[in-house]
Amino acid sequence: MKQKHYQQLERMYLSAPFNQYFKPVIAVAEGEAEICIELKSDYHHAAEAVHGSVYFKMLDDAAYFAANSLEHEFFLVTTSFTTYLTRPVSEGKMRAVGKVVNQNRSQIIAESVVYNAAGKEIGRGSGVFVRSKKQLSHVQGYNRDL
């Protein structure tokens, strides 16, 4: 049952129209998620390094899916997210790893770290996630009939 939920979350993530641009790879497990993308010059700001919005996306997505791996009925939403950009990157891959660090009845807190192709940390973040009113079964790409 849990493995099916993780696969459905992966399918949901990959079906999001925004991800057609980034073409990510995702793996979800209990309280954890890992996301990888291949960098393109399209992601650069004027100084030819990856724009901070890509760091944020990777960090938020990894933390989010780590959190939603523990919630089987409702779609979660990010209520706050703090991002630290610690090293520039311009080519290769970015790999973000998210882990749940705290959960209570009303919220889930998850942290994430993003690495460059050499495995060096280039950013980190933490977020607070809460249940929305939308059931996962009604979200695009999350198919209960896998």
Q: Which stretches of 1-120 are assigned E, i.e. beta strand?
A: 25-29, 32-38, 74-85, 93-103, 108-115
The CATH code of domain 2-138 reads: 3.10.129.10
Distance CA 134, CA 112 (A): 25
Distance CA 109, CA 99 (A): 9
Predicted TM-score of the model (pTM): 0.95
Report whether 29 contacts 69 (CB < 8 A): yes
Confidence of residue 141 (pLDDT cuts 50, 70, 90): very high
Single-letter amino acid, residue 109:
I
Report pLDDT digits (tens) over 7-53.
Answer: 999 999 999 999 999 999 999 999 999 999 999 999 999 999 999 99
Distance CA 48, CA 35 (A): 23
Distance CA 24, CA 67 (A): 18
Distance CA 42, CA 94 (A): 14
Chain-wide mean pLDDT for the chain? 95
